[in-house]
Amino acid sequence: MGNKKVQVAKSDQIQDPPSNDNDNWVLRLYVAGQSPKALTAFRNLKIICEEQLNGKYRIEIIDLLLNPQLGRDDQILAIPTLVRKLPEPVKKIIGDLSNTERVLIGLDLLPRF
Amino acid sequence: MKREPVQPLFSTLPKTATGIQGLDEITGGGLPKGRPTLVCGNAGCGKTLLAMEFLVRGATQFNEPGVFMAFEETEKELTTNVASLGFDLDELSASKMILLEHIHIERSEIEETGEYDLEGLLIRLNLAIDSIGAKRLVLDTIESLFAGLPNILILRAELRRLFRFLKDKGVTVIITGERGDEMLTRQGLEEYVSDCVIVLDHRVNEQSSTRRLRIVKYRGSSHGTNEYPFLIDETGFSVLPITSVGLTHAVSSERVSSGIPRLDAMLSGKGFFRGSSILVSGTAGTGKSSLAAHFASAACLREERVLYFALEESPSQILRNMRSIGIDQEPWVNKGLIKFHSNRPTFYGLESYLTLMHKAINDYKPEVVIVDPISSFIVGTNEFDAKSMIMRMVDFLKIKGITGFFTSLTGAGSDLEHTSINISSLIDTWLLLRDIELGGERNRGLYILKSRGMSHSNQIREFTLTDHGVELLDVYVGPDGVLTGSARIAKEAKEKEEKLLRQQEIERKQLDLERRRRSMLAKVAELQDEFEAEKKETLQAITIEEERIKSFQQQQVNLARSRKADTL
């Protein structure tokens, strides 16, 4: 796990970018250490959020290696998993988010076909 | 409720005892320790239950905590489901002996967007195992992952990693899987679990269902390869080993009374051997159950416990019928010395019934088991199955040293010595009850067809049911054959008459003698009287003569005086 060059999976970096009071979107990314897949997922997530959510979002990153008990509540099996906590309903997107179209469908930003 | 681990029949790799009745015997000590075991079968065949009992027994009997990962049911559903089997999961969870976790996977909630792995699941398992120090784990059923996760390639690779992880963890795992068409499991789980595979099956035969268990594979260990029937009831799982039974049981030379003194006398004076198997066969209404009742009462008098499997009558019916011949078993029932199991075997299926009997015997630990009648195990064409079942039952009783008393109904017109189930070779003492038709009536006869290990009577006894129980009577063998019933009574009457006549003859002769003696005495008295009379007369005559002589002499003196004769 301990690849210290890139700092992603730390709970104190949850607010990234700084939250507005009227966050419309709360996205939680579950990772297990700073694996290449986790880093890829985080990068992809940031790009998508920047492009689509217009600054009205908050990303929480949870490292299950540090806080394994947090995986239970969201029923996390696959890593990485992105959970859309808000707006409801809760959605789960698994994988490194490299398929942008699937991510947008998963976030209900694109209609399902 | 600690239990001694079952002594493995076959030694070898380390094993984890399941604590499930019978399963440890056929696996030679349990499941492979620290390795995964696959339990597969169709829906409703008891996979989840087997897995759950593995954990519960582990927690309660072997002090090994366990984790149950449920992919299909929630914790609450599971707790409710197994509560009916007497497992209190709430309590075991509270004492941290069992951890229930529900893993929820819903395909519709999951969008797949690239590379991923199942680290999340592994972390969760790891956490669960470590949190209670689990030694046992159940994954029920991991196949749900295939439904929930679309990428089969990733999934298969990850499963391989999962099983390696579990082996490294050293937990003993049960993985359940649904039976597939061609393969053991739909998703080919057997390819990951190479150590032990158990298949459960649920079959319907002659309208009764039987659950069966088979160990398909057990790497590094010999194991029974047969299909073993098993039963799920209010106390959980029990598997019945069929053929691991060897003929090595110790025998007792202690004798137990049959409850009928005359019958004991026929059995070289002491009755049956303890731990032997006794068969009473006969046609309808020959008193088989009555003999059983006598035997049961005799056992109760010895303060022994009797387990009575009534296959055709209800307990109250048996009690009433036996009361009518003067055998009151109710006090014994109240005292807990007789326990009835009344149900039709067809309701369960043979194998299940046998398993049920095993369980009942193990629970109640009787000294005597009565099965009345074993012929009702045969329904339709299952004669072979019934025979093998009874053979196993007899073996089981012998190993336990329990005296088995079986009755068997012989169909009218069939060969009497052909028990309908051909089990005579299994039986130590065989009593045959038969009708004897003679002189327009039907009577009961009893004889001992065989009795191993003792010299027994070769006589037919007439057998009557009185209001004080069964009575054995001698029969008369005349030129026309055996006499029973009225013919016997007539014969007895005739003999009585003859005896009376002889008696009278003797008396008459004695009287005659007496009379003659008396007449002789009378004659003697008469003669004596005569003699006395003659004597008296004679004496008188003598006196007269003497008087005459005296007076003659006097006259002579007088005459001489008068003639002044010379004095000489």
Q: How many alpha carbons lie under 13 Å from residue B346 in its C-beta half-sphere?
A: 10
For residues B326 and B426, which has the higher predicted lDDT (pLDDT)? B326
Record: contact B120-A69, CB cut-off 8 A: no
Confidence of residue A8 (pLDDT cuts 50, 70, 90): very low
Alpha-carbon dihedral angle through residues B117, B120, B126, B132, given to the nearest 10 degrees? -160
Q: How many whole angstroms separate alpha carbon B363 and alpha carbon B58?
A: 20
Judge whether residue B414 has pLDDT over 70.
no
* Alpha helices (H) in B417-484, listed in sequence order: none
pLDDT of residue A11: 44
3-class DSSP assignment, residue B276: coil
3-class DSSP assignment, residue B287: coil
The reply to whether ipTM tops 0.85 is: no
Alpha-carbon dihedral sign for residues B414, B415, B417, B421? negative
Interface residue B145 vs chain A (CB under 8 A): yes
Contact status, residue B16 vs residue B33, Cβ threshold 8 Å: yes
Over residues B226-248, mean pLDDT: 68
Nearest-CA distance from A37 to chain B in Å?
7
Q: How many whole angstroms separate alpha carbon B331 and alpha carbon B329?
A: 6
Which neighbouring-strand residues pair with B310? Answer: B342, B372
Contact status, residue B246 vs residue B384, Cβ threshold 8 Å: no
B111 → chain A, closest CA residue: A93
Dump the DSSP string for B100-144: EEE----GGGEEE-S--BSHHHHHHHHHHHHHHT-SEEEEETTTH
Q: Which of B393, B25, B401 is nearest to B238 (CA)?
A: B25
Judge whether residue A19 has pLDDT over 50.
no
B119 → chain A, closest CA residue: A79
Record: contact A97-B114, CB cut-off 8 A: yes
Q: Which of B445, B385, B393 is nearest to B277 (CA)?
A: B393
Q: How many whole angstroms separate alpha carbon B353 and alpha carbon B231?
A: 9
Residues of A in contact with B118 (CB under 8 A): 77-79
Over residues B527-553, mean pLDDT: 93
Dump the DSSP string for A17-38: SPPPTT--EEEEEEESSS-HHH
Is the pTM higher than 0.80? The answer reads: no
Alpha-carbon dihedral angle through residues B423, B426, B429, B430, given to the nearest 10 degrees? 10
pLDDT digits (tens, 9 = 90+) for B317-336: 888 888 888 888 888 888 88
Judge whether residue A12 has pLDDT over 60.
no
What is the average pLDDT value for chain B, to the nearest integer? 82
Chosen from B108, B109, B123 to mutate, greatest number of chain A CBs within 10 A: B123
Burial class (CB in 10 A: 0-12, 13-18, 19+), B179: middle
Tell me the CA end-to-end span of chain B in Å, nearest whole number: 150
Between A63-72, B59-68, B226-235, the lowest mean confidence (pLDDT) is in: B226-235
Record: contact A95-B115, CB cut-off 8 A: yes
H or E element in which residue B210 lies: strand B208-218
pLDDT of residue B547: 93
Contact status, residue B147 vs residue B107, Cβ threshold 8 Å: yes
Record: contact B105-A40, CB cut-off 8 A: no
Interface residue A48 vs chain B (CB under 8 A): no
DSSP B541: H
**In chain B, pLDDT over 90 holds for what percent of residues?**
14
Over residues B179-196, mean pLDDT: 78
Q: Which of B265, B263, B288, B257 is nearest to B434 (CA)?
A: B288
pLDDT digits (tens, 9 = 90+) for B342-393: 887 766 777 777 778 888 888 888 999 998 888 777 766 566 777 777 877 8
pLDDT of residue B285: 77
Interface residue A29 vs chain B (CB under 8 A): no
DSSP-derived pairing of the beta strands B66-70 and B98-102: parallel
Q: Which residues of B are catalytic?
A: 72, 312
Q: How many whole angstroms separate alpha carbon B205 and alpha carbon B209?
A: 6
**In chain B, pLDDT over 70 holds for what percent of residues?**
89
DSSP A79: B
DSSP-derived pairing of the beta strands B255-256 and B236-239: unpaired
Q: Count the residues in chain A.
A: 113
Contact status, residue B151 vs residue B112, Cβ threshold 8 Å: yes
Residues near B526 by beta carbon (within 8 Å), at least 6 away in sequence:
none
Over residues B430-455, mean pLDDT: 82
pLDDT of residue B359: 82
pLDDT of residue B15: 87
Q: Which of B396, B472, B390, B467 is nearest to B431 (CA)?
A: B472
For residues B312 and B181, which has the higher predicted lDDT (pLDDT)? B312
Joined together, the tokens standing for residue B343 give 């149900």
Q: How many whole angstroms separate alpha carbon A53 and alpha carbon A43?
A: 15
Judge whether residue B145 has pLDDT over 60.
yes
Alpha-carbon dihedral sign for residues B540, B545, B548, B550? negative
Joined together, the tokens standing for residue B291 give 């003999």
Which neighbouring-strand residues pair with B232? Answer: B237
Judge whether residue B240 has pLDDT over 80.
no
pLDDT digits (tens, 9 = 90+) for B464-504: 888 888 888 777 766 666 677 777 788 788 888 999 999 99
pLDDT of residue A5: 37
Judge whether residue B260 has pLDDT over 80.
yes
Record: contact A78-B121, CB cut-off 8 A: yes
